[in-house]
Amino acid sequence: MIHSLEVDANRIQSDLDELSKISDSDFPCVTRILWTEKDMLARAWLKGKMEEAGLVVREDEIGNIFGRLQADGPNCPAIATGSHNDAIPFSGMYDGTVGVLGGLEALRSIRKFLQKTGKSLAKSIDLIMFTAEEPTRFGIGCLGSRLMAGTLSPEQAHDLRDANGELLESIRSKAQYRGDLANVRLENNCYDAFVELHIEQGPLLEQLGLQIGIVTAIAAPSSLRVKYEGPGGHAGAVLMKDRRDPILPAAKLILEVHDAAHELGGEDTVATTGVVKVHPGAINSIPREVIVEMDIRDIDLERRTRVLQRVEAKAHALGRDASIPTTLEWINADPPATCDSKIVDTIQSVCDTYQFTSQKMISRAYHDSLFMAQICPTAMIFIPCRDGISHRPEEYASTEAIEVGVKTLASTLLELAEIV
Ligand code: GLV
Ligand code: MN
Ligand code: MN
């Protein structure tokens, strides 16, 4: 039986407002990058909130934070919810945080319901704040959930470096996280269910006037890094005929990636060049090294593969034609995820009980759910955000929309955790 639950919308909003101020850029921009001083403050703040809410808090070796609402009895199974609190540079205050602080409010409301009715949970519920869903610091997204699912090995994680060339291991230990990263790995089916609440990051729900999106699949992300190298030289003294300028194949590759998505892809194929690094980056110096980083996604894996193959072939051909050494590195190429149909049905029943308007949809953005889906039944709840904007300071979801999302999440979790 689906239970309707009360949530405190003002408290969620004030939690979101408070967290948005723990940032390395001035409001309304939010920047919170893994293991910076602000990220560490935000972590301490969240752990305090979890403890206040009566959750049992633990952290793993990579800094994933777990707050558990305990079932009655030892060795009970568990379900989980959660998302991320890190924010890419100069972005907004709702991406990820709605799932963490909304999840926190959902657990508060479930706890209150249990206290009022004298009932208890058959399954514990974990609230998880995943480490570094965003790729900002180490170039790879979903660091915490990849290690949990075993998609990234501890050895691969040890080799990651940030933009200053510092190894993850060194930064991790400065942040006081120690111990074997192998311990982060969770067993398959460690959770009976995982449900993530998130803003849609697209315009569909708002355009259709719907309150909830029930996610049935998550698009497959991939990203690559291409480095072109040349001898460099003086911008005035080296004649055009004597140059081997690595910025030229890089510039052509950027256009090529865009064209490949257009020509080989469908509506769901997207390609972005979001990083271009030029060394030495001086206006009067021919570049010696140019790195471009590209993100290519699709819900259809075969179609994405065709785009990736063309980009890879073109990246090498452009370097070869210009006699410029080329290095290509795949940062990730993940498969899409299918959401669990039973959880999808439960979310649907919850929406129907509350009479929330809803529609099934795919997630074009990736989420920690992409990796949780590899180890346990997973689904996602989307709420509308204004104009579909995300990864920009203008990102906005109304308190009312968040309240609807949190009620849906809370009742879904209560149903999945089975009360006794
Ligand atoms: C997550 O932030 C994504 O890039 O989809
Ligand atoms: Mn994001
Ligand atoms: Mn997110």
pLDDT digits (tens, 9 = 90+) for 337-396: 999 999 999 999 999 999 999 999 999 999 999 999 999 999 999 999 999 999 999 999
Q: What pLDDT sits at residue 15?
A: 98
Measured CA to CA, the distance from residue 225 to residue 206 in angstroms comes to 35
What is the identity of the amino acid at 6? Answer: E
CATH tag, 9-219+336-417: 3.40.630.10
Mean pLDDT of 223-237: 98
User: In this model, does residue 62 exceed pLDDT 90?
Assistant: yes
Atom of ligand 1 nearest to the CA of 295: 4
- Any atom of ligand 1 within 6 Å of the Cβ of 130: no
User: In this model, does residue 223 exceed pLDDT 90?
Assistant: yes
Q: Which of 200, 293, 331, 391 to mutate to test the pocket of ligand 1 (most atoms within 8 A of CB)?
A: 391
Q: What pLDDT sits at residue 390?
A: 98
Ligand 1 centre from 134 Cα, in Å?
7
Q: Which of 30, 95, 275, 366 to mutate to test the pocket of ligand 1 (most atoms within 8 A of CB)?
A: 366
Which value, in Å, is the radius of gyration of the alpha carbons in the chain? Answer: 23
Could you please report the per-residue DSSP string of 243-267? ---THHHHHHHHHHHHHHHHHH--T
Ligand 1 centre from 349 Cα, in Å?
28
User: In this model, does residue 229 exceed pLDDT 90?
Assistant: yes
Confidence of residue 412 (pLDDT cuts 50, 70, 90): very high
pLDDT digits (tens, 9 = 90+) for 7-28: 999 999 999 999 999 999 999 9
Mean pLDDT of 159-181: 97
pLDDT digits (tens, 9 = 90+) for 281-326: 999 999 999 999 999 999 999 999 999 999 999 999 999 999 999 9
Let me know if domain 221-333 sits in CATH 3.30.70.360.
Answer: yes
Q: Which protein residue has the closest C-alpha to ligand 1 atom 1?
A: 366
Ligand 1 centre from 96 Cα, in Å?
10
Indicate which ligand has the atom closest to the C-alpha of 96.
3
Contact status, residue 105 vs residue 406, Cβ threshold 8 Å: yes
pLDDT above 90: percentage of residues in the chain: 99
Confidence of residue 157 (pLDDT cuts 50, 70, 90): very high
User: In this model, does residue 73 exceed pLDDT 90?
Assistant: no
**Residue 161 DSSP label:** B
- Any atom of ligand 1 within 6 Å of the Cβ of 366: yes
Q: What pLDDT sits at residue 74?
A: 80
Indicate which ligand has the atom closest to the C-alpha of 88.
2
pLDDT above 70: percentage of residues in the chain: 100
- Any atom of ligand 1 within 6 Å of the Cβ of 365: yes
Measured CA to CA, the distance from residue 294 to residue 275 in angstroms comes to 7
Q: What pLDDT sits at residue 389?
A: 98
Ligand 2 centre from 133 Cα, in Å?
7
Confidence of residue 222 (pLDDT cuts 50, 70, 90): very high
Mean pLDDT of 161-168: 96
Mean pLDDT of the chain: 97
Confidence of residue 125 (pLDDT cuts 50, 70, 90): very high
Q: Which protein residue has the closest C-alpha to ligand 1 atom 2?
A: 134
- Any atom of ligand 1 within 6 Å of the Cβ of 299: no
Mean pLDDT of 152-174: 97
User: In this model, does residue 173 exceed pLDDT 90?
Assistant: yes
- Any atom of ligand 1 within 6 Å of the Cβ of 181: no
Measured CA to CA, the distance from residue 190 to residue 32 in angstroms comes to 29
Do domains 9-219+336-417 and 221-333 share one topology? The answer is: no
- Any atom of ligand 1 within 6 Å of the Cβ of 134: yes
Ligand 3 centre from 128 Cα, in Å?
13
| Token pair of 305 as six digits | 């593969």
Mean pLDDT of 249-259: 98
pLDDT digits (tens, 9 = 90+) for 76-114: 899 999 999 999 999 999 999 999 999 999 999 999 999
Atom of ligand 1 nearest to the CA of 391: 2
User: In this model, does residue 75 exceed pLDDT 90?
Assistant: no
Contact status, residue 67 vs residue 57, Cβ threshold 8 Å: yes
Spans of all domains in the chain: 9-219+336-417, 221-333
